[in-house]
Structure 1
């Protein structure tokens, strides 16, 4: 009886606690939907100004767009390559030295704490302005995420074939190549293709900090209120994301064995992919060390190693604790709103539940949402809701809708539909059938996807301050641009600890599901 009461208490208390936390965070971030609705005309007017786009501007977009794709392709391939080489040393079940495993995991945790924009800004101090710095940042960003995902996949894989080869005298790394990589290859390549698409969006804003790509052009046209040119830039990004999306789906279907092609066609495909990577890599702008100051680098390192502890422990509104709390609240509210809206959109985005024409329209809508960089959403929403944390919430909510709907749709496409069709055959209406047969199957998967998106939103919220959307981004970037390295070191340390705590919390919640 006590167990039943405890279970009932948990079923009631956890949702109520979650709702209380949601409303407290919403109040802390100043969420005001009524004020947003009153000022909605600012948003519709801005969108109207983008239509029709200025097609004559396309010639000036092509080269910066190529730089964006160049950084994405080279950074993703190099990051994924280094990740699959480093991941076995971080996996506990492959029996590599424990000290090496701990050091590598700490390094990955540190790198995962920083968004690509911050890595790119840091890289410009090392390599100068240009696409080399941007590519270096995308490589590090990809390496950190792919290494974590890969060593988690390795830890979940069956180690018996690997251990059998090791017992026969094969070296650990050779055993990893022959026994583990074939097992994790489909998941690894799927993750890499997913990151490639995400990196196009990351690369498109690196120009904000001088790291190349289309971001500088985009920021310039928004600042000059030339929204017809902004519309053309966003249209080109949309077409790029669509092309990458459909090509990634094709490659993913080949990897999973859902589609087969002739051997000669497979060779041509490999040669084409290799040629794209080589062209993107050899045409990168070389690093410019002429403006790299050894004294600046020493000051940077000294500041990072000796953070400003007075700022670190400050509890005022301009202190680290308040700014980190605001960042967490922005990410939390944005993720929750995005997750709630993504669930019905995911059902409308798959042919399993709606006719093909409806699915196609929603597919285009979701790709359109995903193709716009998150800082651009911030610059758009700030004209409606004004500067502050509420703008950050709106920005991350929309970004979460695009990415969560994609991942939810993929989960629905892999679903066992027999229980759902059985309920329909018994006369149950579609909505109750979904609630009783589909959602229970997807609860653990959806929870994992939402927790991952929350982790991503923490990093994205940490740079939204760049456009006045609250959080810790503005103080961090201003500190780095003003060479206040001790304050920047305190903020970076705070971000590392915050992402680490969120990671621990996500792991605990994931274990319970």
Structure 2
């Protein structure tokens, strides 16, 4: 009897999670008004727009080059500075290194606050401090990079082997020096790989900062979309694609050097370091200077007063335009977009690597995924709004496509890093490729894929928080409008809500990740 009861309980437990997930998915889809039938009927609006971009207006390239340089400039300088500050401060956030608990808590709180906001919101805030231009954009990218890299690095340090660190401490070496010699060599390959990944991501972020006056190609892109000059939009997107291709190739080359999969001569290494240093210096010293002449001390006082004394009536409002409803809509958009992206990305990742398909096939899919990744997410929002109209469904479509691009890349990297021997052993035994993948590859990838999906969901929460800027639902539009209208109490309530909301999502994600 007990055995039967145990068996029934195990069956219930086995199906409870997927059934609950499906119920949650359909509830969220209903809440965001997902209507694939209407989208399919109006699909010609999407194809017409793509046709309008082809062929691009190549005569417009000369007007793109300077804003494109500003975009790269903000990305390079912001990534390097943010990464440097993260490298310096991250050991203070690691729980296993013995640094003062007060400093650790303060650092983690600061990181949590910064991670709650996308680069666009940080850039808009920076324009009130430093005026319009690339300095504000670079400041925002620096903060954005610093927050992400610091969290990833102190988590890696917390998980690292501390034997060498403890041995150095026993010899009387200071904590920080022991960290440099005992922990840093172990985590530095992953640290640099994360920095390269963020550099590519920051190019896309920098390309839309012009929407809030923080420089780069975003202002030009928004202008041409608004004027329906889609041949020029096609040219801008083509240049962004080529830029992403160059950065991706260069990042792969550097990543191979970091992992010691490729070696170069000392003379070549010096030239490479000289080139990287020159690129950083050129980008940094040609930044526009901050324009404090337009910075109003009274505005800054009102801003900080509003953040410290938020609009509690809006914060606790249960109405449709209240904070709770907008946050719920934001998380539903991010959830559905992430799930759809993950479902589509998993098979695409197998087609995107030479381990499972011929090289020409993987090259073709690699090119398609790179095209998807090179388009800024707000541009997808502006495109999809023509098909599905304003609302949360447009946000879902936008984040789904963005998730496909980035999840496929990360899934492919995971596939390239796995142990292929069990898969080849099953093939040698006559097992067909699909069953062989299910029994030998997927078990290895489950924890990695889960971690990647949770990270993407975390990113989508922040990106969904600004999709309202293009009418794609979520909490972004009220926040940006409140800031532009100097309604700081309402902006403070929304920011506080986002901080608490992202913190809650982080805790849930950590528990889910720990369970896998």
Q: What TM-score do you get using the length of structure 1 for normalisation?
A: 0.99
Q: Which residue of 1 aligns with 2:392?
A: 389
Aligned equivalent of 1:215:
218
Give the Å deviation of 1:50.
Answer: 0.2
What's the offset of the Cα at 1:167?
Answer: 1.7
**Residue of structure 2 aligned with 1:412, choices 415, 420, 425:** 415
Q: Deviations over 1:189-239 (max 9, x none)?
A: 000000000000000000000000000000000000000000000000000
Is 2:142 aligned against 1:139?
Answer: yes
- Equivalent residue, structure 2, for 1:156: 159
Aligned to 1:496: 499
Match of 1:293 in 2: 296
CA distance in 1, matches of 2:77, 2:185: 23
CA distance in 2, matches of 1:345, 1:470: 28
1:231-310 alignment, distance < 5 Å: 231-310=234-313
Is residue 171 from structure 1 mapped to residue 161 from structure 2 by the alignment? Answer: no
How far off is 1:7 after superposition?
2.7
SS in structure 2 of the partner of residue 94 of structure 1: coil
Deviation per CA, 1:20-39: give whole Å up to 9, x if none: 00000000000000000000
> Shift of residue 419 of structure 1?
0.8
Aligned to 1:311: 314
Q: Aligned partners of 1:450 and 1:97: how far apart in 2? A: 33
- Is the aligned partner of 1:443 residue 2:446? yes
The 1-side partners of 2:437 and 2:463 are apart by 33
Indicate the residue corresponding to 1:101 in structure 2.
104
Superposed CA deviations along residues 272-304 of structure 1, whole A, max 9, x for unmatched, are: 100000000000000000000000000000000
How much has 1:73 moved relative to structure 2?
0.2
CA distance in 2, matches of 1:258, 1:203: 31
Q: CA RMSD in A?
A: 0.6
- Which of residues 412, 421, 434 in structure 1 aligns to 2:437? 434
Q: Which residue of 2 aligns with 1:507?
A: 510
Alpha-carbon displacement from aligned partner over 1:451-486 (angstroms, at most 9, x marks no partner): 000000000000000000000000000000000000
Query: Following the alignment from structure 1 to structure 2, what is the Cα–Cα distance between the partners of residues 441 and 324?
Result: 35
C-alpha deviation, 1:3, in angstroms: 4.5
Deviation at 1:8, TM superposition (A): 2.0
Q: CA deviation at 1:181?
A: 1.3
CA distance in 1, matches of 2:166, 2:434: 48
The whole-number CA distance in structure 1 between the counterparts of 2:339 and 2:441 is: 20
Partner of 1:116: 119
- Output one character per residue of 1:240-274: Cα deviation in whole Å (capped at 9) or x when no partner: 00000010000000000100001111111011100
Q: Is 2:60 aligned against 1:31?
A: no
> Paired residue for 2:209, among 188, 194, 206?
206
- Aligned partners of 1:422 and 1:317: how far apart in 2? 57
Partner Cα distance (1:471, 1:432) in 2: 41
1:481 aligns with 2:484: yes
Match of 1:333 in 2: 336
1:128: how far off? 0.1
Q: Does 1:195 align with 2:207?
A: no
**Comparing 94-103 with 6-15, which one deviates more in the overlay?**
6-15
Q: Does the alignment pair 1:54 with 2:68? A: no
1: CA distance between counterparts of 2:188 and 2:153?
9
For residues 341 and 498 of structure 1, the distance between their equivalents in structure 2, rounded to whole angstroms, comes to 27
1:455 to 454, 458, 466: 458
Query: In structure 2, what is the Cα distance between the partners aligned to 1:162 and 1:6?
Result: 46
Q: Aligned match of 1:343 in 336, 346, 352?
A: 346
- CA offsets per residue over residues 311-352 of structure 1, 9 Å max, x none? 000011000000000000000000000000000000000000
1:137-169 deviation line (CA, Å, top 9, x unaligned): 000000000000000000010111112112212
Q: Which of 88, 93, 99 pairs up with 1:90?
A: 93
State the SS of the aligned residue for 2:183. Answer: helix
In the aligned structure 2, how far is the partner of 1:298 from the partner of 1:501?
30
CA distance in 1, matches of 2:10, 2:486: 54
Which segments of 5 or more consecutive residues in structure 1 lack a partner in the other structure?
A: none
